[in-house]
A and B are shown apart, each in its own frame.
Chain A
């Protein structure tokens, strides 16, 4: 059987951090490859290189046995590589057929709508019987599940553009179990035998039922490639987790798990006493939120932040919030480092009604010493700093506030190792001063610094781990 795409020793770096490490993979015509791995294992980077979103740092990408010069998204499209994105890419203000025409401009001429409708319905009916989508409905009026089914069907609709490799990235995240079943059945039993697929999902059973081979990734490497029919779920889970966490660089002792009924110094406690499905935070405790991305961790942080309107919790507010998505949720781009640092400190540095610039600068210089910010002057613009240093400014901002509770939304996202260690040190020091932290992390190593960890699945807490039970294996077991 001839392979349609081949990756040879692909490396990909983002600044100093390596996202892909010598990845080699061949995909045969008609084959369905599953890719599994934890957040940050390199799945998305691999997909982005195949789709031409960005180039590899080194290594070779062969399509039909030929190297492609100037490979990019358009080239990939021409070669028949299509992607079904997790984030839906349809235009909500256009109808189903109009959306179809956007991607297949050759559907044109008189009565194009009728032909587009026939094409769409043909594929939709064959993959998702009982989908209930009218081809003339506005996409914005469809349910999320219906939009996802159309998004998937769109990739399988063939006009004159070829469709040879379809990448499905978490295709069933918005589908109900019945529709998800239709998709896996279709892939396994009745898809065009010439079309290859890459199937990425966190739902392991699904991957094993509908793929031919499954690729397990960890830390940017392919750990193993197994035939799906004989792969063992337990074995894959073990391979996905990091073998053993290396020597800890920072000493950290966990707060011993207290009996919740005896200790009463809560910073966050459930409003209705529903302990099982809720999070509690004690003074001076670091609480981790784990589980797969987008399973309700950020919503919980938002509920805790908006403490006056929280339905489920009694919170000692206001809390302070450290964003992981610096650019969107944290940085004030026009301002200097000083001004960015003091946004939650205005009341402390005011003389009468006006902020005292000297005092403000002192605060900034104090933190410059504590957290080692690499800059000539704290009066420089915040954007003159590297991303990691910007993140440290956000930590300084929040820790300078007097809030008892610090909420962290994956705060070490895209931060280099050195800065990460510094951030952990900052957290440990602040914890010693009786700050409480709620820490959503997608990085398994960081659970080492948590006193208790709540695992999330489908918007709910499914497990609470404390003490020695806080291990990667336990978290993975609860997440899947």
Chain B
């Protein structure tokens, strides 16, 4: 009897944590997929692969959002595209160039991130406008330099990102590893504590001898790097870098952060929630696919689900704890 209540109590306290909900939702959707599809396991594996990209991009976006109200990176889609294109061009379909190509892509992401913060800091633009403006520049550069062509990845890269270990996609394992490392950094490193402090109370952070400028600069740069890594892996996964390959990440990068239980007002992050939310969102996309719904209906339903979940978890997500 006593044991039973303690288990119930444990379950209840678990349910009170917002980061648990995306996982529960993911399981529900998976069960639904099993009902309607005979290839549920394959669907799950594919969802994990695509969810990996959501996770990587989402972590970058979360870092930026955590630095406080108004901070957001809307240049992620075009950073993904430009970095992927530059990396594939550098690799030039030669296997031995993969590493240098990856570095080139990461460098591009870092430069875009740095440019974002410089616009925000030096011209005092609101982050939303600054990152949108720089994304126009980035997109135009992509068009001018690569003329809308698809640039193929080296064979070894494609093979690598499609490897499965014990049924789990390698990139999913990679994304989980990155998430674990980032979770430790966020909760226990000087940098992680700093971005949370800045996001909660920027003036108090400055008065606590935190170098606010340096931390935010690093954060926008890291977000660019995460997008760049995603761009390279995505190009390998889908068989080539294209101009529009990052487009859907504008919405999803923000959605996984919010669904994962991070505070949109900053100062309160949640890495594990992002993993759950990414899995859930991609499973939903797949489920609607299997149901044979057209893309417009799919998008509408995805939008509604996001609204519904944010509404359900409203108290922790929308109400800023900073008064």
Chain A residues within CB distance 8 Å of chain B: 305, 318, 320-321, 323, 327-335, 339, 343-344, 346-347, 350, 353-355, 357, 397, 401
Contacts and interface: CB of A to CB of B under 8 A. Distances in A.
A333 B207 contact: no
Given A321-B207, A334-B196, A335-B196, A355 B267 contact: no
A320 B209 contact: yes
A335 B190 CA distance: 15
A379 to B, nearest CB: 13
B200 A357 contact: no
A355 B193 contact: yes
Interface string B174-210: 0000000000100011100100110011011101111
Contact of A331 (B184, B196, B201): B201
A328 B201 CA distance: 7
B208 A344 contact: yes
A353 B209 CA distance: 19
Given A330-B204, A343-B208, 9 more contacts: A332-B200, A333-B200, A333-B201, A334-B196, A334-B200, A334-B263, A343-B193, A354-B184, A401-B209
Interface in B266-323: 267-268, 321-323
Contacts of B189: 353-355
Nearest to A409: B207
B267 A332 contact: yes
Given A328-B203, A344-B208, A333 B323 contact: yes
Contact of A323 (B197, B207, B267): B207
B206 to A, nearest CB: 9
A381 B191 CA distance: 21
A321 B207 CA distance: 6
A331 B204 contact: yes
12 contacts: A320-B209, A329-B201, A329-B204, A330-B207, A332-B197, A333-B200, A333-B267, A334-B200, A334-B268, A339-B193, A343-B205, A355-B189
Interface residues of B, number: 22
B200 A335 contact: yes
Contact of A347 (B190, B203, B208, B321): B190
Contacts of B201: 328-333
B55 to A, nearest CB: 22
Contact of B267 (A318, A334, A343): A334
Given A318-B209, A343-B210, A350 B190 contact: yes
Contacts of A401: 209
Contacts of A318: 209
A333 B321 contact: yes
Contact of A334 (B203, B207, B321): B321
Contact of A344 (B196, B209, B267): B209
A413 B68 CA distance: 27
B190 A346 contact: yes
Nearest to A339: B193
Contacts of A330: 201, 204, 207
A261 B188 CA distance: 47
B207 A305 contact: yes
B180 to A, nearest CB: 13
A408 to B, nearest CB: 12
A401 B201 CA distance: 19
Contacts of A339: 193
Nearest to B209: A318
Contacts of B204: 323, 328-332
A397 B210 CA distance: 13
Q: Among A327, A330, A333, A353, which residue has the most Cβ atoms of chain B within 10 A?
A: A333
A326 to B, nearest CB: 9
A354 B186 CA distance: 10
Nearest to B193: A346
A355 B192 CA distance: 10
Nearest to A401: B209
B187 to A, nearest CB: 8
A3 to B, nearest CB: 41
Nearest to A305: B207
Q: Among B184, B207, B209, B323, which residue has the most Cβ atoms of chain A within 10 A?
A: B207
A89 B24 CA distance: 51
A26 B115 CA distance: 64
Q: Among A318, A334, A346, A355, which residue has the most Cβ atoms of chain B within 10 A?
A: A334
Contacts of B193: 339, 343, 346, 355
Contacts of B268: 334
A401 B207 CA distance: 13
A320 B204 CA distance: 11
A305 B209 CA distance: 9
Nearest to A346: B190
A332 B207 contact: no
Nearest to B201: A332
A442 B268 CA distance: 35
Q: Among B193, B196, B204, which residue has the most Cβ atoms of chain A within 10 A?
A: B204
A354 B191 CA distance: 10
A308 B97 CA distance: 46
A344 B194 CA distance: 10
Q: Among A321, A346, A350, A353, which residue has the most Cβ atoms of chain B within 10 A?
A: A346
A392 to B, nearest CB: 16
A418 B60 CA distance: 47
A355 B185 CA distance: 9
Nearest to B208: A343
Given A305-B207, A334-B263, A334-B267, A343 B197 contact: yes
Given A320-B209, A321-B207, A344-B209, A333 B322 contact: yes
B209 to A, nearest CB: 5
- Of all A-B residue pairs in the complex, the 4 with the closest CB atoms, nearest first, are A354-B188, A332-B200, A321-B207, A355-B188
